[in-house]
A and B are shown apart, each in its own frame.
Chain A
C-alpha cells in the first residue's frame, strides 16, 4: 500500500550520514539538546525552576510567544485556503499546501508548548470531558483551537497520503476541502479574536493604549495580516533554501502570490491602522500618546503597521518582489511585537519595576526549541511530500 519512495525515505532517516552536519543542522541540534534538558528540568523541578513567572505575571514568554504569536502566525492556513477555495482565486493554489502545512505545524506546536506552560498538562482535556467553564473566553479558545487543529490535520493529510500512495483516502479528503475551509475560517475567526478577548477581563492591568473593547477585532484583523505576511515570508525562505524542490507551476505562481498577497496585506493593514486610530479616539486615549508608553505605542503603530502598509503598497505598484518580501518580514516582527506588548510589556504597566517580569534563559530555550522543531519538521515534510510540487500521479486531479 505504502509507496516505494516513502519506504526509501524512512529507511534513509534511520541511516544518518556526514551530509547532515550543516551549520544550520548543528545549531538546531544544540537547541534540541538544550530543549530536552529544559523539558527534563521543567517536569522534575516545576515551573519555578525554569521560568521567571510570578504571582503578578502568571503568563510569560511561553504564552506571549509560543501561544499568541504561534496562533497569529499560523493564520496563513485559513487565509490562503479561503482566498483560493472560497473567493475562487485559483492563482494562489500553489501557496495553499505550504500554508496549510505551516498552520498545522504551528497549531500542533502551540498545543505542544501549552504542555510546558500549564501546571497539569495531562488535564488539558478536562474542560471538554470533566467540567466546562463556558463563561470563560479561554474555554472558547481551547475548544476552537482543538477543533481547528483537527480540521488542519485533515487538510494537511492529502500530501502525506499522496506520498504514502493511498489514493482512495486522498481523494476522499480532497472532496471535503470546501467544507473544511469554511469550517476553518469560522473557527479561526472565533479563536483569533478570542485570544484578544482573553485580555478584556483585565482592564486594570493593561495599559489604556492597548486595552480596548475592540481587542477581539484587532486580533482577528491582525491575524489576517500575519497570515498573509507569514505565507510570503516563509515562501521567501523556501524559495531560497528549497528552490530545487519547487515545480514549474509553483515557481510561476509565486510571483502572483507575492504581488497579490502584498496588495491584500497593504489594504488590510490600512484598515487595521484606521480601526486602531478609531479605537484610541473612542476611548479618549490621545493624551496617553504623549507619555513613554505612548511613544512605544507609536513605534508599534507607525513603525510596524503604517510603514509596512506603505512599503507593501509601493512594492506592489512597482512589482518589486524583494521589497514585498522584506516588508513581510517587518510585518511578521510587527505582529510579534504587538502580541508581546499586550501580554508582556504593556501588561502590568502599573507595577513597579521590581515586580515586572523578564523571561528566564530556559524560557527562551524552550521557545527556541519549539521553533526549531517546527522548522525541522517543515523541512522534512516539504522535502519529501508534494508540498512545493505536485505529485505526478495526481496532476489531473488538481481541483
Chain B
C-alpha cells in the first residue's frame, strides 16, 4: 500500500476505535446501576417539592428537601422559621387559608409555603424557589459553611433519599396533655364549618377528629390534613417556644420530633388518662335495625354495648369513629348507603378483616400470646354460630323499642346481667395426666400435664373479660385441643379422629403423630413458650 493510503486507513481505524471506545465508556457509566436502598439513610423529614404540578406536568424530577436539616442549619445561624416562612399580612388573615380567620384570631401565624403567600403562576413559583434556595446555598458556601446544591441535578434528583416519616396522631394520653395545657379550652383546636353563616365556628360537645373534614388533599375550601395539622400544631408549639418561658413546655417543631419512629415512641405517656368529657353515653343498645318501630318484628336481638368500658380499651376514638362521632348506624344502614361506602350494618359490625368492626377488633385480641395457643388454630374466616349469642342478648322483658326510646338504661340492664364464664369443670373431672405412647419406638411415652395446662389457661381467661364473655360454656376451653367436636365434659380423645396419616377419606385431618406435634408445638410456639424445647423436651429418648 502506498503511504497515503496507509495514512488514510489508519485514520479511519482510529475513528472506528474511538467510536467504539466512547460507546463502551458510555455503557460503562450507565452500567453503574442503581445503588441498593440503604435503610440507614432514610429520614423522617423528607419533603418532595412538586408544587408546579398544579400548573401542569413536571419537566424535571421532584426536588428533595430535608426540612430538619435546614431548620438545624438555620438555628445555628440564629434564624427561626420566619427565615423562610412569611408572616400573615396585616389583615390578620392567613393568606391562602382565609377561612380559618375566626379560629385563629390573634395568633401570629406563618404561611406554610416557602417565601410566598400564594401560588400565583408557574414561572413565579419556580423563580421563588430558584432565587431563594440557590442564593442561600451560594451565600453559605462562600461563607465556608456546608451548603446544599446549586446545580439543577443537585436538587432535582432521580433517586432521592427515602422517607421514613411515620404518620402522627393524638392518642388519649397526648390529647389529655393538650387539654391540660390549654386549660380545657377545646375551641383552641376544634371547630366546624357552619354552612349558613359560612364561617368556622366552635360547637361544644360536638368536637371531632380533624381528619373527618381535613382529608389527604387540599380541596377548594378546605385545606389538607397535612396543612391543617402543621398550621394548628406546629405553629402553636413554635409560638410557645418563642416565648422562651422555661415553665411552659411545648411539643416539637421539627419534622423528626413528631414523625420519627423512635421519637414517637418516646413521647411521654400519661398512666391513667381520665375519661374525655363530651357527654358521651356509657352504654348503647345497638339495634339491628334502625328504622324498625315495632320491636316485635326484630329478627336479631340488639347488642348491648359498653361504650364506657371500650373507651378504656382503646387509645383513640377514631379506631371506631373513623368518619364521624355519630352512631355507626347513621351511615352503616341495614342495607348499606353511599355515606357508609355501601358497607351495611352487619358488615360494619362483623367484618373479620377490619379493626373498625367489633368482630375484627376482637379477633385481633385473640392474637395475644395468652390466647393464641388455641386461637391460632381456629379459622377466622367463619364465625361459630354459637358465638352470636354472646353479644346478641334479648333485652330482659322484651320492651317495645321505638326510635324515641331511651335505650341506654336497657343496654345497662343487659350488661349488668351478663356473666363472664371464667371457670371450667371441677378438677376431679379433668384428667391430671395424659400419657401419650404413640412414638414409643424412638422415644419414651410423653407425659402431658393435662390438668395443670388447663388450669393455666383458665387463669389466663379469668384475667380477660372479653374471653370470659365469649367462652359461653364451661367446656368451651376444652375446644382448643378437643376441636371439631361438640362441647362436652367428656370430649373425644385425639385417637378418635386422628389415625393413619394421608387418609384419602379424611383429607384435611393430619395423622396421629402430625396431629400431636402440630397441636402441641403449634400452641407452644404461638404462646411464646421457651420450654419444652426440642424433641426430648416432651418425650425422653429411649
Q: Do chains A and B touch in the complex (CB under 8 A)?
A: yes
Question: Chain A residues in contact with chain B, CB under 8 A?
Answer: 289-292, 294-295, 298-299, 302-303, 307, 310, 314, 318, 320
A181 to B323, CA, bound (A): 85
Known: A298-B23, A298-B27, A318-B5. 7 other contacts (CB 8 A): A295-B24, A298-B24, A299-B24, A302-B20, A302-B23, A307-B20, A320-B1
Assess whether B28 is interfacial by the CB under 8 Å rule: yes
Contacts of A299 in B (CB 8 A): 24
Q: Residue B450 at the A interface, CB < 8 A? A: no
Taking A289-B27, A294-B27, A302-B23 as contacts, is the C-beta distance between A318 and B1 under 8 angstroms? yes
A166–B20 Cα gap in the complex (Å)?
56
Residues of chain B with a CB closer than 8 A to A298's CB: 23-24, 27
**B27 — which chain A residues lie within 8 A by C-beta?**
289-290, 294-295, 298
> Which one of A290, A299, A307 has the greatest number of beta carbons of chain B within 10 Å?
A290
Given contacts A299-B24, A318-B1, contact A310 B31 (CB under 8 A): no
Name the residue of chain B whose CB is nearest to the CB of A310.
B16
Tell me whether A303 and B31 are in contact (CB under 8 A): no
Q: Can you give 15 contacting A-B residue pairs, CB < 8 Å?
A: A290-B27, A290-B33, A291-B33, A292-B31, A292-B33, A294-B27, A295-B24, A295-B31, A298-B23, A298-B24, A302-B23, A302-B24, A307-B16, A318-B9, A320-B1
Q: Mark out the residues of chain B between 302 and 350 whose CB falls within 8 Å of any chain A CB in the assembled complex.
A: none
Chain B residue nearest to A293 (CB atoms) is B31
* A290:B31 contact, CB within 8 angstroms: yes
User: For the complex, what is the distance from the CA of A298 to the CA of B1, rounded to whole Å?
Assistant: 32
B426 in contact (CB, < 8 A) = no
User: At the interface, yes or no: B246 with Cβ under 8 Å from chain A?
Assistant: no
Q: Is B216 an interface residue (CB 8 A)?
A: no
Report the bound CA distance from A294 to B24 in whole Å.
10
In whole angstroms, what is the CA distance A83 to B27 when docked?
A: 40
Any chain A CB within 8 A of the CB of B12? yes
Residues of B within 8 A of A310 (CB): 16
Most buried by B among A291, A295, A303, A318: A295
Q: Does B281 contact A (CB under 8 A)?
A: no
Q: How far is the CB of A207 from chain B (nearest CB, A)?
A: 14
At the interface, yes or no: B397 with Cβ under 8 Å from chain A? Answer: no
Chain B neighbourhood of A289, CB < 8 A: 27, 30
Q: Tell me, rounded to whole Å, the shortest Cβ–Cβ distance linking A131 to chain B.
A: 34
A303 close to B20 (CB less than 8 A): yes
- Per the bound structure, the CA–CA distance linking A151 and B43 in Å amounts to 72
Residue among A298, A299, A307, A318 facing the most chain B CB atoms (10 A cut-off): A298
In the assembled complex, the CB of A248 is this many whole angstroms from the nearest CB of chain B, namely 26
Give complex CA distance A318, B9 in Å.
10
Query: A340 to B151, alpha carbons, bound, how many Å?
Result: 45
- Closest chain-B Cβ to A293's Cβ sits at a distance in Å of 9
Cα of A383 to Cα of B16 in the assembled complex, Å: 41
Q: Tell me, in angstroms, the Cα distance from A12 to B177 when the chains sit together.
A: 111
Nearest-CB residue, chain A, relative to B17? A307
Shortest CB distance B515–A (Å): 38
**Nearest CB in chain A: distance from B205 CB, A:** 61
Instruction: Identify which of B12, B23, B30 contacts A290 (C-beta below 8 A).
Output: B30
* Min CB gap A299→B, angstroms: 7
In the A-B complex, the 3 residue pairs with the closest CB atoms: A290-B30, A295-B31, A295-B27
| B151 shortest CB reach to chain A, Å | 23
Q: Is the CB of B31 within 8 A of A291?
A: yes
Interface residues in B4-43 by Cβ distance below 8 A to A read 5, 9, 12, 16, 20, 23-24, 27-28, 30-31, 33
Interface 0/1 of B111-130, CB less than 8 Å to A: 00000000000000000000
User: Which of these, A295, A302, A318, A320, contacts B28 with CB under 8 Å?
Assistant: A295
Q: Contacts A291-B33, A295-B31 given; indicate if A314 touches B9 (C-beta within 8 A).
A: yes
Instruction: Tell me the minimal C-beta distance from A270 to chain B in angstroms.
Output: 15
Q: Given the complex of chains A and B, what is the CA–CA distance between A197 and B229 in angstroms? A: 64
Q: How far is the CB of B239 from chain A (nearest CB, A)?
A: 53
- By a CB distance below 8 angstroms, the chain B residues around A307 are 16, 20
Residue of B nearest to A288 (CB): B31
In the complex, chain A residues whose CB is within 8 Å of the CB of B23: 298, 302
CB-defined contacts of B31 to chain A, threshold 8 Å:
290-292, 294-295
Please report the C-alpha to C-alpha distance between residue A318 and residue B12 in the assembled complex, in whole angstroms.
13
| A320 and B2 alpha carbons, distance in the complex (Å) | 12
For window 218-251 of B, CB contacts with A under 8 Å fall at none
Q: How far is the CA of A290 from the CA of B30 in the complex (A)?
A: 5
Distance in angstroms between the alpha carbons of A292 and B29 in the assembled complex: 10
Residue of B nearest to A298 (CB): B27
Shortest distance from the beta carbon of B33 to any chain A beta carbon, whole Å: 6
| Set of chain A residues within 8 Å of B16, measured between Cβ atoms | 307, 310
Question: CA–CA, A58 to B137, complex, Å?
Answer: 60
**B residues near A290, Cβ cutoff 8 Å:** 27, 30-31, 33
A37 to B31, CA, bound (A): 44
Assembled-state Cα–Cα distance A292/B12 (Å): 29
- Chain A residues near B9 (CB, 8 Å)? 314, 318
- Report the Cα distance A300→B368, complex, angstroms: 60
User: CA A294 – CA B1 in complex, angstroms?
Assistant: 39
Q: B2 to nearest A CB, angstroms?
A: 11
Residues of B within 8 A of A302 (CB): 20, 23-24
Q: How far is the CA of A310 from the CA of B12 in the complex (A)?
A: 11
A299 vs B23: C-alpha distance when bound (angstroms): 10
CB distance from A345 to the nearest CB of B (A): 16
Of all chain A residues, the one with the shortest Cβ separation from B27 is A295
Residue from B12, B24, B27, B28 whose CB has the most chain A CB atoms within 10 Å: B27
Minimum CB–CB distance for A29 against chain B, Å: 40
A350 to B1, CA, bound (A): 50
Q: Which of B12, B24, B31, B33 has the most CB of A within 10 A?
A: B31
| A291 proximity list for chain B (CB < 8 A) | 31, 33
A307→B15 CA distance, assembly (Å): 12
Closest chain B CB from A323 CB (angstroms): 8
A353 shortest CB reach to chain B, Å:
17
B503 to chain A, nearest CB (A): 37
A298 and B19 alpha carbons, distance in the complex (Å): 13
Q: Give the CA-CA distance A277 to B231 in the complex, in Å.
A: 58
Q: Could you tell me the distance between the alpha carbons of A83 and B525 in the complex, rounded to whole angstroms?
A: 76
Q: Which residues of B contact A320 (CB under 8 A)?
A: 1
Alpha-carbon distance A294/B26, docked complex (angstroms): 12
Residue of B nearest to A290 (CB): B30
Which residues of chain A have C-beta atoms less than 8 A from B12's C-beta?
Answer: 314
Tell me the complex Cα distance, A295–B20, Å: 12
Measured CB to CB, the closest approach of chain A to B442, in angstroms, equals: 32
**B-chain residues with CB within 8 Å of residue A295 when the two chains form the complex:** 24, 27-28, 31
Please, how many angstroms separate the alpha-carbon atoms of A77 and B24 in the complex?
Answer: 36
- Which residue of chain B is the closest to A297 with respect to CB atoms? B27
Assembled-state Cα–Cα distance A291/B33 (Å): 6
In angstroms, Cα B1 to Cα A320, docked, is 8
The complex places the Cα of A61 from the Cα of B257 at a distance, in Å, of 61
Please give the distance in Å from B4's CB to the nearest CB on chain A: 12
Measured CA separation A295–B5 after assembly (Å): 34
A305–B31 CA distance with the chains assembled, in angstroms: 21
Smallest Cβ-Cβ distance to A302: which chain B residue:
B20
Of all chain A residues, the one with the shortest Cβ separation from B26 is A290
Cα–Cα, bound, A318→B4 (Å): 13
CA distance A299 to B24 in the complex (A): 8
Kindly state the separation between the CA atoms of A303 and B24 in the bound complex, as whole angstroms: 10
| CA gap between A292 and B30 in the complex, in Å | 9
Q: A312 to chain B: closest CB distance in Å?
A: 13
CA distance A319 to B5 in the complex (A): 12
Q: Which residue of B lies closest to A306 (CB)?
A: B20
Distance, CA A176 to CA B329, complexed state (A): 97
What residues of chain A lie closer than 8 Å to B28, measured between beta carbons?
Answer: 295
The distance in angstroms between the C-alpha atoms of A310 and B17, with both chains bound, is: 12
CA distance A295 to B31 in the complex (A): 7
Nearest-Cβ distance from residue B30 to partner chain A, whole angstroms: 4
Q: Which residue of B lies closest to A319 (CB)?
A: B1
